[in-house]
Structure 1
Amino acid sequence: MKESYEMTTSSSNYVENWANIPWEQFEKILFRIQHRIYKAAKNKDYSRIYRLQILLIGSSCARYLAIREIMNRKRFFILHYKSLKDIEKFSLVEELKHISTWKYKKINHSLLKKQNSNTENSVGFAILKDKAIQCLIKYALDPIYTWNLASEKDYSKNNETFWKIQKQILINLKSPIPEYSRYILQIQLHETFDQIEYNKFLSRIVLPDNIKKLLYLALRAGLIQKQDYFLENNNSLDILSSYLCEINMLGIENIGNEFKSFSTFSNNPNYLLRGIRHTYNLIFFLKPHENIIQQQQNIQDFLISRGLHGEKINLQLIKSTEGFDFLGWHFKVNPKTNKCMSYPSKTNRRHMIDSIKRTMKDSRYPLEDRLEAVQLIYLNWRTYHRYSDLSQINVWSIKLWTYKFAKKLNAKKNREARAIGKEKLILKIREIFNHKPYSFSSS
């Protein structure tokens, strides 16, 4: 099947051409190439992998899809860039043919507001080109690494992934094997990215030499920004840096793992994993009298082999009865009843309250719209903590604050409208902060 898209050069037909591009056909072509890369990776046929990766990066369908993916990212418009015209999009497709001349340029987004609109649009075009090239490289890496990232349950950032991690931690704390549930080694890895040996860092990345050389130059120019990888819910235009970091961190949680099958919560067997990681957060469940120094050395050796600064790891030894925070939850074992529990951490609760207050104080919107936004914030928060013990958390204070603040705004109306508005307000507040019983499911 021919994988190029012919367009007319008449400027009046650009809009029609971009709207009528056969996106579904392009996606099928890209998938077929990626599937061939996946099969070659399974057979460890690296020469074939390199040939197919070059074919994919040079494919016109991949170039069109890369531009569409970047243009659909909300962050691109938050940066105040004007949306590209269709004629500029086709021009950018032609620019992506010359990937061999790509040079990454680090751009300070905070300075762009001081520029005039023409400069801003030209800089936006340059950023779009840069991110589209990164997207092409990611397309070439996806078939090799995405399966491993998904199996580690770390790269995907959705509620189901977090719930599985929460369940695994509770399994460790509730383990019938007593030596696993006493001490936790909590590790922060963000400082290990302060200094990177780029040759070692790229040694695990499977790409042709010419593309890897471009990545090396991009890394030296500042491709990896710590905030791209370490900030939660990051909506930036980061395409490749966090992906490369995640590839190099794969396997660190398996250091010293001992898989022991047992049954808990149900009749289905579960596997007890000692190490659990999400981005830069890492915890290990230790046995009593285990050599912590040796475990620390193993982690440092792993990081150094990946080209990272292994000496800058922040370790903290915690008793399970004292409790620890992980992914917005606080996990703890009751020393009297020996029961494990998880509930929202103080930081997570504070973040939810601050979001509600910030939304309610936003005078750009009417009160009804603010309450709808508050309901969505609170619903998302309760959904995330649906398997947590919310009886440990006091939400009455934010409920009362929301009612008082809304009542103050309602007081500006006349007497009749105020009386009607008060009844609606009470019903709306009850609807927003509707409580549901605590439940935990092992599924």
Structure 2
Amino acid sequence: MRFVMFFVNFSWQKYFKNIFRLQKRLFKIGFFNDIKKCLMFQRLILRSNSARILSIRYVTQISMDKKFAGIDGKVSLSFNDRFELNEYLRCNFNNWQPQSLKKVSFIEKNGIIKSLKLSTIADRAWQYLILFSIEPVHEATFNICNFGFRRSRFIHELQRVLILNLEKQSLGFQKRILIVNFKGISNFLNKNLLVKNIVAPRGIKIGIFKSLTLGLSLFFDSSNQNVFNLSSFLLNVALGGVDNIHYSLRFGYNILFILKPLDNEKLILKKLESFFINSGMQGISYSVFFSSTLNGFDFLGWYFKVFKNGDFICVPSNNNYQNFLKRIKLILNNSNYGATVKSAKIFPLTKDWKMYHRFCNLTASRFSLFFLKKRAFKVFNQESKQDSYSTKRLINKCFYELNPNNKNMADFGIMKSPFYGHLTFWVNSFYFNPLSSLNYRSIFFCIHCGMRF
């Protein structure tokens, strides 16, 4: 009878709206730092049936990790198992006992073998459930220049802001760049201090601390920048104050300080070291790159350079371009694949590369991939089943061409998630062109009165 009543009143849209309404109010309260009310609304979200069902749906149907089993060996859940997990979360969310983690090795795009510790489906559902409650509070306090691994910020926004700082009207030719990379920070994190900085009920903090003690991996997944999980969220919380040292742009482990002529780079590095010491991350190693904008610099796979007359260029960096060519040539030179299979494997690589660099200047011959197409035509045409016409069709199919709409800066922030726009605090991503026809109505809401505009 309970299942029948559930399906009669079932609506994903209704659950999305219920959660978003509570998150919106929690975001407003977190902005004013009212801890008592924050904890009250967090408990409301944690007890919400909508939050539990959405977290189970995300883990079992939407997440990219849904095909990986934890220590219990479960890859998927049946219909009845999901309802049992829902009841288990309802009774034990405040005194959660995480299970042991399963260590899995995988190969990254650059060929490096990395190991990752995976949680069970139940633990992942609990992690996503608590994200519903703690994410709005910290989103209200995160620095606006933190663009990495947040549900409402995107990497092309960082590129746009950096371009605005380097253009002629901003006197970009007078500025200097200080780039700091602190990869491997998770090994030096102070768990006690990290849990103390999280705004959450005591039972949730204890559950997070137990997960960290068991070896929960904290890292920014550079291979997929749109993935948002508890791991990347906790790292953003741990690095919350590093953006306030000086005007900077941060994405994951990389932070770029923009220095004016009178700014002192040594003072900024001293402040950075004191931040790591005060955050309990003594002994962390980081690399530093300091240069003038006139000399050019690489950042996140892009190469920026400002000329003396005030003009500037933004193109794919040499390392990024060479790694891309290496991956394409590895497929072309593989004799185990036919021309059709090769074209199918090349298409997603070229599309991802061009979409990532779609706001760069790709008019140069090397970035138009002319010689790569010529090489691919020669390889495909050697197959006895192909002639020049079919080879040309395969070339047009596997080398993705950008549309004029893809190059519009107004539409760079569209996520692929089916429920995007309901679980965020900004209904859509921030657009730099407010007059664009691609913008939707009611993009933002006022944190004071809740009115959308």
TM-score range, shorter chain: 0.7 to 0.9
* Aligned position for 2:100: 105
Q: Which stretch has the larger CA shift, 156-165 or 390-399? A: 156-165
Percent identity (aligned):
24
Structure 1 position 255 matched with structure 2 position 245:
yes
* Aligned position for 1:7: 3
Query: Quick one: distance in 1 between partners of 2:390 and 2:373?
Result: 15
* Aligned position for 1:74: 64
In structure 2, runs of 5+ residues without a counterpart are 107-116, 410-431, 434-453
Does the C-alpha gap of structure 1 residues 179 and 381 become closer, same or farther in structure 2, counting only changes over 3 Å? closer
* Aligned position for 2:24: 35
The counterpart of 1:55, out of the listed 44, 53, 60, is 44
Contact 1:301–1:310 (8 Å) recurs in 2: no
What is the SS of the residue equivalent to 1:77? Answer: coil
* More contact order relative to length (CA 8 Å, sep ≥ 6): 2
Does the C-alpha gap of structure 1 residues 131 and 172 become closer, same or farther in structure 2, counting only changes over 3 Å? same
TM-score (norm 1): 0.75
Query: Quick one: distance in 2 between partners of 1:38 and 1:54?
Result: 14
Query: Quick one: distance in 2 between partners of 1:234 and 1:304?
Result: 28
Query: Quick one: distance in 2 between partners of 1:396 and 1:277?
Result: 34
Contact 2:26–2:137 (8 Å) recurs in 1: yes
Structure 1 position 340 matched with structure 2 position 308:
no
TM-score (norm 2): 0.74
Does the C-alpha gap of structure 1 residues 429 and 157 become closer, same or farther in structure 2, counting only changes over 3 Å? farther
Structure 1 position 212 matched with structure 2 position 205:
yes
* Aligned position for 2:291: 318
TM superposition shift of 1:56: 1.9
What is the SS of the residue equivalent to 1:98? Answer: helix
* Aligned position for 1:90: 83
TM superposition shift of 1:425: 1.2
TM superposition shift of 1:384: 2.4
Name the Cα RMSD after superposition.
3.7
1:31-430 alignment runs, 5 A limit: 31-71=20-60, 72-77=62-67, 82-96=75-89, 97-99=91-93, 100-103=95-98, 105-110=100-105, 127-147=120-140, 151-152=144-145, 154-155=147-148, 161-176=154-169, 178=171, 181-226=174-219, 229-233=220-224, 239-257=229-247, 275-288=248-261, 290-309=263-282, 311-334=284-307, 339-357=311-329, 367-368=339-340, 370-392=342-364, 394=366, 395-408=369-382, 410-411=383-384, 413=385, 418=386, 421-430=387-396
What is the SS of the residue equivalent to 1:109? Answer: strand
- Select the structure that is richer in helix: 1
TM superposition shift of 1:252: 2.4
In structure 1, runs of 5+ residues without a counterpart are 9-15, 112-122, 258-274
The residue type equivalent to 1:346 in the other structure is N
TM superposition shift of 1:276: 1.2
Does the C-alpha gap of structure 1 residues 390 and 333 become closer, same or farther in structure 2, counting only changes over 3 Å? same
TM superposition shift of 1:317: 1.4
Query: Quick one: distance in 1 between partners of 2:139 and 2:8?
Result: 30
Does the C-alpha gap of structure 1 residues 169 and 106 become closer, same or farther in structure 2, counting only changes over 3 Å? same
What is the SS of the residue equivalent to 1:187? Answer: strand
Contact 2:188–2:283 (8 Å) recurs in 1: no
TM superposition shift of 1:82: 3.6
Contact 2:188–2:281 (8 Å) recurs in 1: yes
Query: Quick one: distance in 2 between partners of 1:181 and 1:321?
Result: 8
Does the C-alpha gap of structure 1 residues 384 and 234 become closer, same or farther in structure 2, counting only changes over 3 Å? closer
Does the C-alpha gap of structure 1 residues 225 and 161 become closer, same or farther in structure 2, counting only changes over 3 Å? closer
The residue type equivalent to 1:52 in the other structure is F
Query: Quick one: distance in 1 between partners of 2:302 and 2:81?
Result: 47
Query: Quick one: distance in 2 between partners of 1:341 and 1:327?
Result: 15
The residue type equivalent to 1:304 in the other structure is I
The residue type equivalent to 2:374 in the other structure is L
The residue type equivalent to 2:67 in the other structure is F
Contact 2:19–2:51 (8 Å) recurs in 1: yes
What is the SS of the residue equivalent to 2:188? Answer: coil
What is the SS of the residue equivalent to 1:321? Answer: coil
Contact 1:131–1:239 (8 Å) recurs in 2: no
Larger radius of gyration: 1
TM superposition shift of 1:155: 3.7
